[in-house]
Structure 1
Amino acid sequence: MGSEDGGDGAVAAPTTAARSTRPELQARLDDLIRENRVTVAVVFPVVGAVLLVASAERLLPPPLAFDPLLILLGTLVMRSPLLVGVAPLIDRRGAIGVAGLALYAYAVEFVGLRTGWPYGDFHYAVDLGPTVAGVPIGLPVFFLPLVCNAYLLCVLLLGARAGTARVRLPAVIGTVVAMDLVLDPGAVALGFWTYPGGGPVYGVPLSNFAGWVLSATVTVLVLDAVLDRAALRARLETCEFALDDLVSFVLLWGAINVYFGNWGAAAVGGLFGVGLLRTDRFDVPTG
């Protein structure tokens, strides 16, 4: 028995240290985000909007114009409050669920690029970094956080009603599709991707939004299954920056849509801003 448990406790010590490492690291990351909220949630999206518009207007020379590394790094920085905010909630089950959703996102995009289903006929017109079979490897960084932001926002706005699946799930799915009403018109205006056949929503076809209903439904159902909602609400009680990535989204894509005159898309972005202000546990970044 002594050889199995280390006798003098030599085996137990590393285990205890390993268990304490994650909370300590999490605390440091929380402090890092709190100390840089304005930079991450306000400065980065504003500068990003200026650079993207300047790229689209050919005011920036190559390689600065639509530089894929800058786009990916900027996105990761703006995503960091969300990633740090939900990190304590990701256990083995959650990690498997997120990995599965990343593969799902790749698969749907792969099919969509080749068949036009479910989003409609489209193709990328700007280099968004390295690809796998034509699909940007950064796709999960671009897509999955949108769904997670929608989930967190709905949990906060719905309050006790979020405990009911028939209320929570349609609300989150609808919110994800509404986010695409902001994202896709701005992305098309920038030239990130294009729909050769055009469409009634600032050049975006209705099939795209129908495709987002499908993708959002699958993604939301998986997230809902792997996230511990009680732990999520407890985390939101103390994590005031968890939705700062959504602040970045509103500022970045709102500014882009305003610049290109996509007033309907900008208005939907404004509604997300109102939603952020109405959340009980969210405070506007002040530094």
Structure 2
Amino acid sequence: MAEASVTLNRQRVERAFDSMVRENRALFGVVVPTVGAVMLLASFESVLPVLLPFDSSLILIGVVAMRLPLIAGLLPLIDRKAATALILLTVYAYGIEYVGITTGVPYGQFSYDVGLEPLLFGEVPLGLPIFFIPIVANCCLLLLLLLDGRFGRTLILSSIIAVIGMDLVLDPAAVALGFWSYSGGLYHGVPVSNYLGWTVSATIAVVIFNWGFEQSAVLNRLHQCEFMLDSLTAFIIFWGAVNAYFGYLLPVGITGLFALGLVTADRVILPFDPSL
């Protein structure tokens, strides 16, 4: 009886969460990333009032807001195995980042500079999992849709490539904004070693995610939940805008490919209901 009551309460929470996100798709997927990009670029140009530039609390709130569609989409799928996978991804994210910062392996020597405090053990951003896990999840979800439910090696390999593609967008812009820096690199200040490291991290993370979340159930949820990839839309808008500002054409082009993927998967946020 108690278990049934807990299940019922959970379903009520999930339905309410779904409804809230669905009614605010444009806010989480378009408005928040647009405002966030403008504020961070204003921080970079030193035109914001004192205390606001690169405020870590505002950055974290904005990132969480952009992640809400993904969280709401995955929530009904989280059972014991999926929860274990998320815990493993969290531990892995902290662990590999700590090793990377303290040893330079596998990404190359780098350090965090502004805007991502507080730092765990004085080295790793406490909010790292909310940055890292959605990158992996969004790539797996998008490819699951684009491959029309074809599971196995093709899904794993294409998801790994997509994760590396997202970092090709993320890292140059983050370095330009001053979030973190490397000792040097040919790709807008990012070394090749970073992407070799991301190949390893992407492989491990994609395998863990696909192990934890039963793929047919995820695909079914994707078909039922039209907003589940809105976090990817937010990523495209935010990092695409920042890269465009700095004139980084290749990262902008890669965001265009992700946008094309969303269009192909019919996951574009519309300002109106096309059925009306």
TM category (shorter chain) comes to over 0.9
Secondary structure of 1:159's match?
A: coil
Which amino acid is 1:268 matched to? I
Q: Counterparts of 1:285 and 1:93 in 2: how far apart (Å)?
A: 34
Deviation of the 1:20 alpha carbon: 0.7
Q: Counterparts of 2:212 and 2:27 in 1: how far apart (Å)?
A: 31
The TM-score with structure 1 as length reference comes to: 0.92
Which amino acid is 1:171 matched to? S
Which amino acid is 2:258 matched to? F
Output one character per residue of 1:184-238: Cα deviation in whole Å (capped at 9) or x when no partner.
Answer: 0110110110112x21111110100111001110001111111111111110111
Give the one of 202, 210, 213 matched to 2:188.
202
Checking the alignment, whether the CA contact within 8 Å between 1:37 and 1:286 is kept in structure 2 is no
Which amino acid is 1:87 matched to? L
Give the one of 121, 125, 128 matched to 1:136.
125
Q: Counterparts of 1:230 and 1:219 in 2: how far apart (Å)?
A: 19
Checking the alignment, whether the CA contact within 8 Å between 2:33 and 2:235 is kept in structure 1 is yes
2:166 is equivalent to residue 179 of structure 1: yes
Number of aligned residue pairs: 271
The aligned residue for residue 59 of structure 2 is: 71
Structure whose CA Rg is larger: 1
Checking the alignment, whether the CA contact within 8 Å between 1:41 and 1:285 is kept in structure 2 is no
Q: What does 1:1-287 align with in structure 2 at a 5 Å threshold?
A: 12=1, 14-133=2-121, 134-160=123-149, 162-163=150-151, 165-196=152-183, 198-280=184-266, 282-286=267-271
Output one character per residue of 1:29-73: Cα deviation in whole Å (capped at 9) or x when no partner.
Answer: 110001101111100000000000011111113310000000000
Deviation of the 1:141 alpha carbon: 0.4
The TM-score with structure 2 as length reference comes to: 0.96
Q: Which blocks of at least 5 consecutive residues in structure 1 are unaligned? A: 1-11
Output one character per residue of 1:80-108: Cα deviation in whole Å (capped at 9) or x when no partner.
Answer: 00010011111111111111110111011
Secondary structure of 2:47's match?
A: coil
Q: Counterparts of 1:95 and 1:236 in 2: how far apart (Å)?
A: 19
Q: Which blocks of at least 5 consecutive residues in structure 2 are unaligned? A: none
Deviation of the 1:168 alpha carbon: 0.8
Secondary structure of 1:123's match?
A: strand
